[in-house]
């Protein structure tokens, strides 16, 4: 009958087969990362596929990810992608125990997907295709080389000496691929750091503000009672965007183009903006994905120039309806032009935040800030292009995905303290929270215990109609058991927020924030 090993040929052990596939994956990712560092970090096929996944994800799934993972949604995506790639590599390795064909086909398919993802990114040029090509080449070469050496080591040999030499060659090759991938990946990281915008931000230094805002008065927050501080520290300011990798734009390389339905096209540099009269405004920003009672809202002193002034300088033409803005990573936003041009609105092209240049994660070198509108229609970070156009001519990123066109912030309130499901002793309980109605202002907040009467809360000192207000009220809760606390706000227009619950899609959630506590 003969020896089965000779008849069927060598066969890799499962562990060796999986190892060759995983090392091929590591080599591919490292090469793509290194070349991507030369032509732009977004050209790494791993990042490009992740960005494409974000763009193609259904709206309901994006909402679920934001509500479930908050600002960690991108880390979860990257981690999930890594797990999927590893599982695919394991499967490809197991299918390649006798031949490298299956693994080579899997690598090729993923290489093509990476290339398509790169070529379809709006923020990448044609040279970006070099990164997925390098990734595909490195992955195929590493996998096939290691697979060939592993098969030779698995062949029946007449002496143990030859078998030992083949195994050593495989182990040396595997080690070389692992070390090489590590060196290449580290090189990509170091090269990427040369593009780091943090150094450019540090070199900006202090911003000179012509019209600063005074420090918040003593009664502006009730932080000791459990509400946020009136001004949110930059490190704590919420961040929700589609950028899988932060755009790295140096101030010296940045420029803003204003064009479209204008009398004269403008191109402004960072120094052009900085050397104008900078103003400072206290503005609360809120994400449209913020659920009732949610944390996706923060307040800061933004520094910049009046956006309306820039557009007047360009000469906005009759018939223009929206300000279509584009960020450095290709994300787009449509803002109602009449809101931007409203002199009472105080829309900013901002370059500073809480006395410092904008943090990189919040848009350095420059971003838009338009009070009273949710961020998806008003707060483009890393902004590089402003086009005056009509609603029919251009559709922004979120408008294409079923969100509302105008995005006015809805009057809302939230209980911050006590937290839901707290257990407290019977007696006096101080309930404190936050309310907002940007560009309208909060007039009053009321709190209800169980189904009892509404009690009007004490409001913090008003600072700006564009900023949130804190509130607090003391309630006597003597009866042990489970109780419900509910709040509602009334804005300066006389509107009281509705009890009716609405989801965040298409233009922001509504409803009263209610929590449960236990006294015993």
What is d(CA 44, CA 128) in angstroms, rounded to the nearest whole number?
A: 8
Q: Half-sphere exposure of residue 186, counting CA atoms within 13 Å on the CB side?
A: 6
pLDDT reported for residue 41: 64
What is d(CA 384, CA 398) in angstroms, rounded to the nearest whole number?
A: 18
Phi, psi of 502 (to 5 degrees): -135, 145
Task: Spell out a b/e string for 66-83, using b for 16 or more CB atoms within 10 Å of the CB, else e.
Answer: bbeebeebbeebeeebee
pLDDT reported for residue 216: 93
What is the pLDDT confidence band of residue 228, given thresholds at 50, 70 and 90?
A: very high
pTM assigned to the model: 0.82
pLDDT reported for residue 191: 62
Q: What is the pLDDT of residues 140-177, one digit of tens each?
A: 999 999 999 998 888 776 555 555 677 788 888 788 88
Residue 473 falls in which region: left (phi positive, over 0), alpha (psi -120 to 50) or beta: beta
Cα Rg of the chain (Å, integer):
29
Report in angstroms the alpha-carbon separations of 114 from 21, 48, 123, 274, 413.
18, 7, 15, 39, 44
Q: Which domains does the chain have, with CATH numbers?
A: 4-194 (no CATH), 209-401 (3.90.420.10), 412-519 (2.60.40.650)
Number of other CB atoms surrounding residue 428 within 10 Å:
11
pLDDT reported for residue 72: 77
What is d(CA 96, CA 108) in angstroms, rounded to the nearest whole number?
A: 14
What is d(CA 351, CA 260) in angstroms, rounded to the nearest whole number?
A: 23
Number of other CB atoms surrounding residue 425 within 10 Å:
10
Q: Half-sphere exposure of residue 429, counting CA atoms within 13 Å on the CB side?
A: 28
What is d(CA 210, CA 479) in angstroms, rounded to the nearest whole number?
A: 56
Residue with tokens 């590599």: 89
Across 397-420, average pLDDT = 95
Q: What is the pLDDT of residues 80-92, one digit of tens each?
A: 888 988 999 999 9
The DSSP letter of residue 81 is H
Cβ atoms of 48 and 124 closer than 8 Å: yes
pLDDT at 291 over 60: yes
Q: What is the pLDDT of residues 365-396, one digit of tens each?
A: 999 999 999 999 999 999 999 999 999 999 99
Torsion of CA 147, 150, 156, 162, to 10 degrees: 130
Runs of H (alpha helix) within 122-252: 130-154, 160-194, 197-204
pLDDT reported for residue 276: 93
Q: What is the pLDDT of residues 203-227, one digit of tens each?
A: 999 999 999 999 999 999 999 999 9
Quick one: three-class SS letters along 124-153?
A: CCHHHHHHHHHHHHHHHHHHHHHHHHHHHH
What is d(CA 401, CA 391) in angstroms, rounded to the nearest whole number?
A: 15
- Whether the upstream peptide bond of residue 195 has omega within 30° of 0, thus cis, is no
What is d(CA 513, CA 484) in angstroms, rounded to the nearest whole number?
A: 10
**Distant-in-sequence, close-in-space partners of 452: CB < 8 Å, separation ≥ 6:** none
Task: Spell out a b/e string for 439-474, using b for 16 or more CB atoms within 10 Å of the CB, else e.
Answer: bbbbbbbbbbbeeeeeeebebbeebbbbbbbbbbbe
More confident residue, 45 or 429: 429
Q: What is the pLDDT of residues 440-473, one digit of tens each?
A: 999 999 999 999 999 999 999 999 999 999 999 9
């Amino acid at each position: 009958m003969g020896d089965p090993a000779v008849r069927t040929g060598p066969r890799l052990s499962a562990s060796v087969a999986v190892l060759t596939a995983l090392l091929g994956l590591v080599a591919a990712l490292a090469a793509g990362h290194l070349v991507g560092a030369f032509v732009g970090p977004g050209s790494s096929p791993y990042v490009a596929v992740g960005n494409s996944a974000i763009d193609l994800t259904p709206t309901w799934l994006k909402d679920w990810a934001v509500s479930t993972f908050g600002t960690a949604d991108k880390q979860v995506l990257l981690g999930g992608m890594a797990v999927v790639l590893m599982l695919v590599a394991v499967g490809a390795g197991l299918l390649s125990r006798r031949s490298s064909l299956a693994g080579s086909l899997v690598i090729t398919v993923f290489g093509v997907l990476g290339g398509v993802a790169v070529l379809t990114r709006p923020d990448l040029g044609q040279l970006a295709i070099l990164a997925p090509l390098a990734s595909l080449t490195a992955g195929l070469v590493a996998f096939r080389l290691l697979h060939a050496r592993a098969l030779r080591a698995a062949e029946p040999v007449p002496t143990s000496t030859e078998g030992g030499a083949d195994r050593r060659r495989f182990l040396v090759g595997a080690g070389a691929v692992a070390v090489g991938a590590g060196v290449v990946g580290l090189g990509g990281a170091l090269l990427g750091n040369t593009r780091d915008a943090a150094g450019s931000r540090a070199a900006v230094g202090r911003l000179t503000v012509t019209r600063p805002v005074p420090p918040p008065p003593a009664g502006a927050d009730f932080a000791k009672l459990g509400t946020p501080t009136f001004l949110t520290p930059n490190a704590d300011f919420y961040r929700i965007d589609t950028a899988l990798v932060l755009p790295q734009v140096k101030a010296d390389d940045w420029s803003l183009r204003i064009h479209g339905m204008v009398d004269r096209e403008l191109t402004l540099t960072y120094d052009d903006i900085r050397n104008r009269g900078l103003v400072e405004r206290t503005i609360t920003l809120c994400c449209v994905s913020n659920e009732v009672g949610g944390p996706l809202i923060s307040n800061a002193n933004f520094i910049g120039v009046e956006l309306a002034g820039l557009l007047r300088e360009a000469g906005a033409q009759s018939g223009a309806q929206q300000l279509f803005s584009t960020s450095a990573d290709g994300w787009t936003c449509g803002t109602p032009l009449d809101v931007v041009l409203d002199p009472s609105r105080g829309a900013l092209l901002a370059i500073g935040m809480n006395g410092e240049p904008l943090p990189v994660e919040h848009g350095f070198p420059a971003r838009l800030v338009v009070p009273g509108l949710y961020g998806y229609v008003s707060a483009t970070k890393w902004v590089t292009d402003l086009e005056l156009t009509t609603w029919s001519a251009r559709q922004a990123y979120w408008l294409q995905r079923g969100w509302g066109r105008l995005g006015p912030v809805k009057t809302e309130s939230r209980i911050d303290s006590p937290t839901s499901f707290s257990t407290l002793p019977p007696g006096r309980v101080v309930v404190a929270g936050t309310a907002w109605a940007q560009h309208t202002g909060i007039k009053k907040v009321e709190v209800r215990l169980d189904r009892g009467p509404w009690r009007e809360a004490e409001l913090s000192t008003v600072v700006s109609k564009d900023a949130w207000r804190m509130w607090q009220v003391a309630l006597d809760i003597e009866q042990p058991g489970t109780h419900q606390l509910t709040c509602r706000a009334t804005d300066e227009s006389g509107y009281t927020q509705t009890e009716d619950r609405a989801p965040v899609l298409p233009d922001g959630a509504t409803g009263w924030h209610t929590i449960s506590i236990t006294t015993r």
